[in-house]
């Protein structure tokens, strides 16, 4: 799963496990066949991030279900759905469907992204009872505070804010994608609130120059990618500033 979300590795090592990393395919999507082949008798968990951070790609319909049907019974899939609310596809099946249908899935979600509550540190997981009982046995007893609970409940009820965020993200993502492509960068279709962009040059140089303009992008150097960056979709003004700054830098 390379590039993948770094905590999967950290928490595995913390639990004295070992990791097997299966690189993404050329088109930046999961190599589910490769993951299947990498499973051995010691495999316990498989982390799948859908939409994937940092690429923004999603698994094709039915691809995941087929995969879940193919894994051996001693393996559990952790489906990281931090960005799932941004998937704009009719009847796209998510973790909740797979859990209800009895697949060996634990899905995890967060209030840090769509709901904008990253600072409150709240999210949740759902799975069949046996899995949750196991998690409960080792979970920190005081993991989420009441202020965060109140915020999360209020956020779930605030449909107006949710709709507005999704609408603006979709509009700005389209606009930013087109502008970046016009500037000659490669942008792949994203299903999240960020873009995975091939900036076609050493991304550290570019990101440092952008920092001087007050813009932070995420170079993907840590994932071994020299010219890729993850760029969050900002407000209309922020995105315009990014494009303006990129044009200015191009001229130098």
Ligand X SMILES: *Cc1c(COP(=O)(O)O)cnc(C)c1O
Q: Which residues bind ligand X (CB under 6 A)?
A: 5, 49, 53, 80, 82, 110, 112-113, 118, 123
As a whole number of angstroms, the distance between CA 69 and CA 248 comes to: 51
CB of 209: closest distance to ligand X in angstroms?
Answer: 26
Looking at the Cβ atoms of 111 and 185, the one nearer to ligand X is 111
* Strand duo 105-110 + 186-187: pairing: unpaired
- Name which of 193 and 227 has its Cβ closer to ligand X: 193
Number of Cβ within 10 Å of residue 83's Cβ equals 23
The dihedral of CA 102, 13, 30, 177: what is its sign?
positive
Q: Which is nearer to ligand X, 80 or 85 (CB)?
A: 80
Q: Strand locations in the chain, DSSP E?
A: 45-49, 76-80, 105-110, 123-126, 186-187, 194-198, 218-219, 228-232
Whichever of 11 and 243 has its CB closer to ligand X, that residue is 11
H or E element: which one contains 97? helix 95-100
Q: How far is the CB of 200 from ligand X (least distance, A)?
A: 25
Shortest distance, position 110 Cβ to ligand X, whole Å: 3
Closer CB to ligand X, 5 or 161, in the complex: 5
CB 48 within 8 A of CB 64: yes
Minimum distance from residue 126 beta carbon to ligand X (Å): 15
Phi, psi (rounded to 5 degrees) for 189? -60, 125
User: Do 112 and 123 touch, CB atoms closer than 8 A?
Assistant: yes
Q: Which is nearer to ligand X, 112 or 238 (CB)?
A: 112
Q: How far is the CB of 41 from ligand X (least distance, A)?
A: 28
Cβ 247 to ligand X, closest distance in Å? Answer: 29
- 3-class state of residue 167 by DSSP: helix
């Amino acid at each position: 799963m390379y590039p993948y979300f770094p905590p999967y590795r950290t928490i595995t090592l913390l639990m004295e496990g070992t990791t097997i990393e299966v690189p993404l395919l050329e088109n930046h999507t999961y190599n589910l066949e490769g993951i299947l082949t990498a499973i051995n008798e010691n495999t316990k968990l498989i982390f799948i991030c859908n939409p994937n951070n940092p690429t923004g790609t999603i698994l094709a319909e039915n691809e995941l279900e087929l995969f879940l049907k193919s894994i051996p019974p001693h393996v559990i899939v952790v489906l990281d759905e931090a960005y799932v609310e941004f998937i704009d596809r009719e009847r796209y099946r998510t973790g909740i469907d797979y859990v209800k249908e009895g697949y060996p899935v634990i899905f995890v979600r967060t209030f840090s992204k769509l709901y904008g509550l990253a600072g409150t540190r709240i999210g949740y997981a759902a799975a069949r009872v046996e899995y949750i009982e196991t998690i409960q046995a080792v979970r920190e007893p005081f993991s989420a505070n009441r202020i965060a609970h109140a915020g999360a409940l209020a956020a779930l009820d605030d449909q107006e804010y949710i709709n507005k965020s999704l609408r603006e993200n979709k509009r700005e993502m389209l606009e930013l994608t087109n502008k970046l492509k016009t500037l000659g960068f490669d942008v792949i279709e994203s299903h999240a609130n960020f873009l995975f962009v091939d900036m076609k040059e050493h991304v550290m140089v570019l990101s440092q120059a952008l920092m001087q303009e007050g813009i932070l992008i995420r170079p993907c150097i840590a994932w071994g990618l020299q010219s890729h960056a993850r760029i969050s979709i900002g407000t209309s003004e922020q995105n315009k500033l990014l494009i303006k700054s990129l044009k200015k830098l191009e001229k130098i």
